[in-house]
Structure formats: C-alpha cells, structure tokens
Amino acid sequence: MEVVIVPDAKAGGALIAGAMADLLRRTPDALLGVATGSTPLPVYEALAAQVRSGSVDTSRARIAQLDEYVGLPADHPESYRSVLRREVLEPLGIGMDAFMGPDGAAEDVRAACEAYDRALAEAGGVDLQLLGIGTDGHIGFNEQCSSLVSRTRIKTLTEQTRVDNARFFGGAVDQVPHHVITQGIGTILEARHLVLLATGEGKADAIAATVEGPVAAVCPASALQMHPHATVVVDEAAASKLK
C-alpha cells in the first residue's frame, strides 16, 4: 500500500485526477469506479477542468457506480445514479450509455446485486476505483464488521450513517433510505488500482486503522492492505494520527 500525503483536499483532487487522466490516455475506454459523498468532489472538479481544457479525452471512458440506495427511483435527485450524473458524468461529458450501476429500484434486489457483479466482470473489471472512507473505516457501504470477501449485496445502514446522510435530504433523517446496495469488499478488491482519498481530521482515526492497524473487518478499509496496487491519498489532517 502506498500512502501519499498532500497539503490539502485540492491537491489530493489534482493528484488523483492526474492519475485518472494518465489512465485514460493509456486506455481510452478505461472503466473508472466512482464514489459519492463530499470527499471525491475535488477529484471530479479537477478532472472536469482537464476535459474542458482538452488535455484529456473522455469520449470512450466508462463509469461504474460503487453503491446505491434501495427503494429510491433512479430519477430521484438523491439516488446515487442521479448524483453521479450531476457530479461526474455531465461535467466529464460522459453519457449514461457508458454508465453502469446496480438497480436500486429492482423488485428482486438480490438478483440485481448478482447481476451487477456479473456486469462488472463482463465489462472487464474496474481499472481504477476511487474510494472515500467513513469515520468508522467503511468503504462503499460496507459498514464495520462486513465480510472482507463480500460480494455486491444489500446492507442496512447504521443509524449514524443515516444521520450523516440526512444533509442530502434536507436534514430529514426519516427520508434517508434504510437499505443500500453496495459493492462488496471482495468486489472492490477486484479493481486493478484502488485509490482512497481522505481529507480532514475527522478521518484521522480511520486512516490510522486502515494503514497501520491489522487487516480486520472492524475497519473495512484495512482490506486495502491486501491489494497489490492500493494508493491512499490523505491531507495532513487525515494523516495526523499516522505514526
């Protein structure tokens, strides 16, 4: 595992956007795995700036979703599909035909999870998966004590995560779905390059456990230690509890 300490979130965003742009120059139809939440926004902004300046071509790029709420229609403004369309696909000039994600509105959620894992494999696998991290060490919606070999599946959100995400639902916790589909940790580990970005002091304990703790389900992100090509990009605040 490689750890890169950057001065701030903007520098982290620029660094990772640079890696994504390099990948797209080598592999124009690369499959980029993307996360939602606040942390990755500087990455998407920096990559969009490169697209606007013409220094990277995204016309053949493909995007894969990490997780999705269960029960929200796909066109709900807070479904992760809608969020990613607004924050990633449109700014990068990538059409929905190049997007893949689990069907959070499926009647048979288990079948939808299995279908998504199959679709990822049939697409050739994720080339670069961008990850954020929860304050408790979760990646995707693999909360603490998720199996480190888990596949894409339905999970129940913890009350803390629903409270954290209420900010996207006008502060109304009761509007936040109880369930999500998330790529499993085993699924995430199949990406060829994992890049985790963490910024701010609130992530410092989780980063210390991820990088220096034992590989343990109590810190799902510690599974990155088992990956042959994992990069953890942290600002100085998030790195502050590393030895």
Reported as half-sphere exposure (CB side, CA atoms, 13 A), residue 143 has a value of 12
The answer to whether residues 191 and 127 touch, using CB atoms and an 8 Å cutoff, is yes
In sequence order, which residues have a C-beta less than 8 Å from that of residue 26 and are 6 or more positions away? none
Stretch that binds ligand F6R, among 9-17, 112-120, 131-139, 149-157 (CB under 6 A): 131-139
* Backbone angles phi and psi of 182, in degrees to 5: -130, 140
Q: Is 138 a catalytic residue?
A: yes
**DSSP β-ladder status, 179-182 and 193-198:** unpaired
Task: Name the region of 137 (left: φ>0; alpha: ψ -120 to 50; beta: rest).
Answer: left
Q: Does 138 sit near ligand F6R (CB under 6 A)? A: yes
Stretch that binds ligand F6R, among 22-30, 52-60, 97-105, 130-138 (CB under 6 A): 130-138
Nearer CB in complex with ligand F6R: 102/134 = 134
Which 16-35 positions form the footprint of ligand F6R (CB under 6 A)?
35
- 68, 87, 117, 138: the catalytic one is 138
β-pair partners for 100: 64
Q: Does 233 sit near ligand F6R (CB under 6 A)? A: no
Q: Does 67 sit near ligand F6R (CB under 6 A)? A: yes
Residue closest to ligand F6R (Cβ): 132
- Residues of this chain that bind ligand F6R (CB under 6 A): 35-39, 66-67, 132-134, 138-140
